Amino acid sequence: MSPNAAPSEASTPLIIPELVRLDALPGSSKKDVIEYLAQVVASAGRADTPEGLAGDAIAREETAPTGIPGGIAIPHCRSPHVLAPSLGFARLAEAVDFGAADEQAADLVFMIAAPAGADDVHLQLLAKLARGLMNTEFTDALRKATTEEEVARLVTEQVEPDPADGEQAAAEPAVADDASAPAEGGTVIVGVSSCPTGIAHTFMAAEALEQAGKERGVTVRIEGQGSGKIDWLDPALVKRADAVVFAHDLPIKGRDRFAGKPMVDVGVKAAVNDAGALVDQALAAMEDPNAARVPEGGDASDDAEEENVHWARRLQRSVMTGVSYMIPFVAAGGLLIALGFLLAGYDVASLYEKISISDYSLWNLPGSEFMHEIKDSSDTVVATETISVSRSGMLLYIGWALFLLGKAAMGFLVPALSGYIAFGLAGRPGIAPGFVMGFIAGEVKAGFIGGLVGGILAGYFAAWLAGLNVPRWLRGLMPVVVIPLGTTLVVGSLMYMLLGKPLAALMTAMQNGLTSMSASGSAVFLGIILGLMMCFDLGGPVNKAAYLFATAGLDAATADKTAPYEIMAAVMAAGMVPPLALSAATFLRARLFTKAEVENGRSAWLLGLSFITEGAIPFAAADPLRIIPPSMVGGAVTGALSMVMHVGSKAPHGGIFVFFAIDNFLGFLIAILAGAIVTCAGVLALKQMAANKKAAAGDVAEIAAPAAA
């Protein structure tokens, strides 16, 4: 086989003698060893370039060392440069340090090279190899082998699939084989292991924990949540388990299956390095009533059956992903613009379009007057104008720079929204086309509506391409070339040719309606609606929709067009009300709240002042019917008052701490205080009614008890 020929058979073995080197001397560093093995893999026709494979493996190595106790190293990666799943092996004449926990240098080095689109069958074989590396008999045999053919045979026997494996892989859902059922009444520990790559450490940790359990006479079953299909633990075994061990670097899928059980929660390397200690900790946790336990309920992103999530729920989650990634751009950009206004004055907003900041420096500071040349289409100066600003010198120069930094950050608002919506729907292949759709939305003046639509279309189209059953030789190119190229071409063409103008017209109509509403008597109604939305789910999708609506308008605001500033102020003020009101309520009537709620109340005031509405979530989760309705009423009051008093905020975040960017700051405080008083009074009234009802029920029970006796 020529070095550049791609393996063509679907049953290409993971290791052949050409991938083995015995008593090699590649160099004294792990970088030398990785580059050596990448060359071995490429020379066998398993990678297109050794440099590309080595670069990806070294990048993976930098995230965490791949040395494991016993003189073994397993550098590994998933790479688009890999043409077929392969195992490069080198037995080193001089051991090289790979950062193992026992500080023993490695003389057995496996390079696990998987294509970016490796299929489940090959990933199962790689998992078996990873488990085998925890077996001393297997590693001793590798050290004693005399030929490359013998090493290839030993490894092949270790990863040889059972005849039933094909059937197992096809089952939905697959359940881990449990041939050796635990003895009746014996101790059972279950758990989950996972690592970022999902190839090596995931399954080595699982094997190490299960072996440590055997040494202690305890049944241990670990579910490896690696790449490809997951062999889910038997639900009956999970139900029977006495304790749980999580050895993971990624979120646990299906975590709520283990709710209520004593828990040991560590990184995956801890299990590889000292599995026995973790099993001992789990055994101790079984006897400790104060031991940490798996909490009730699970994170939405951890569903064991992610592929079965309803399309509407998945879409909503993806939009929220886009919003959450967008907010840092908004916060950074908006606050920098506000600081720029504070230092340089508001006329810097028009100055930057006519005068270049690069004409000045810290040693050549600008004055308060500038000459601006007006040129025609042939770049000929036809007139000049004098521009006067309210500041000069250092304050103007620094404020100008901060303003430009903020404008740059705000320029990523819609692309980030669109890019990460596509990421939520299609994973990494959706990011690039999603960002492009966000940029196109700005080009065609479609704003955040165009970003939403473009991101959703890019995400769905990229996900569809990713699900195609393409030839094996093409799989490695799909996530890095085919999907981004195809999605950008198709969806980008749609955005420019068909959707751009209608979306831009819709955005313009919305902005015009917003301006007219805030300038008329309808401003109060708009403030009420925004206040209700901000407090409906206290940081959830409805809250984020209102926030997105407000922040998207900031970029269009001007000195003469202040409606977007007023909307931003109403949204921020209403979002501050719930945590502030609940903090006050716990202070005024602590006996109506649980001890945990009183503790939360001690910090909720600071969250409220910072415009972090989520500070009220612990209260709402415990008693939604008595928390959310008063919060909505208070938010509506605040939103209405803020609009009536024409409060404006040039900063999209920061709460009371961006006072310098708020017009009519006194009105801002009055609106927040009024809403907080309404919410606090409503919560206390509802809580007191519930307490009175409970007390009355208790009195009835006491009276009825003697009669029953």
The whole-angstrom separation of Cα 325 and Cα 102 is: 40
The whole-angstrom separation of Cα 106 and Cα 100 is: 8
Residues 6+ apart with CB under 8 A from 692: none
Q: Kindly list the strands in the beta sheet with 188-194, ordered across the sheet, starting from the edge strand earlier in the chain.
A: 219-224, 188-194, 243-248, 263-266
Whether 638 contacts 675, CB under 8 Å: yes
- Exposed (0-12), middle (13-18) or buried (19+): which is 235, by Cβ within 10 Å? exposed
Instruction: Tell me, letter by letter, the H, E, C secondary structure of 222-274.
Output: EEECCCCCCCECCHHHHHHCCEEEEEECCCCCCHHHHCCCEEEEECHHHHHHH
In a 13 Å sphere around the CA of 51, the CA atoms on its Cβ side amount to 0
Distance from the Cα of residue 555 to its chain's centroid? 26
Q: What is the CA radius of gyration of the chain?
A: 31
Residues 6+ apart with CB under 8 A from 241: 188, 189, 190, 258, 261
Long-range contacts formed by 6-13: CB under 8 A, 24+ apart: 6/45, 6/83, 6/84, 6/473, 7/45, 7/46, 7/83, 7/84, 8/473, 10/472, 12/84, 12/85, 13/152, 13/156
Question: What SS3 class is residue 82?
Answer: strand
CA angle (543, 546, 547) in 5-degree steps: 85
The DSSP line for 608-628 is HHTT-GGGGHHHHHH-HHHHH
How is residue 395 written in tokens? 């304050």
Q: Which of 77, 81, 122, 195 is catalytic?
A: 195
Q: Is 680 a catalytic residue?
A: no
Q: Is 76 a catalytic residue?
A: yes
> Helices (DSSP H) in 64-164: which residue ranges?
120-132, 136-144, 148-159
The whole-angstrom separation of Cα 547 and Cα 682 is: 25
- Exposed (0-12), middle (13-18) or buried (19+): which is 33, by Cβ within 10 Å? buried
Helix H or strand E encompassing 708: helix 665-708
In a 13 Å sphere around the CA of 467, the CA atoms on its Cβ side amount to 9
The DSSP line for 256-323 is GGGTTSBEEEE-HHHHHHHHHHHHHHHHHHHH-TTS-BPPSS--GGG-TTGGGS-HHHHHHHHHHHHH
The letter for the amino acid at 594 is: T
Q: How far is CA 67 from CA 70, 71, 98, 102, 416, in A?
A: 9, 8, 5, 9, 37
Question: What SS3 class is residue 35?
Answer: helix
Residues 6+ apart with CB under 8 A from 432: 419, 484, 488
Question: What SS3 class is residue 66?
Answer: coil
- How do strand 20-24 and strand 72-73 relate by DSSP bridges? unpaired
Which residues are marked as active site? 76, 195
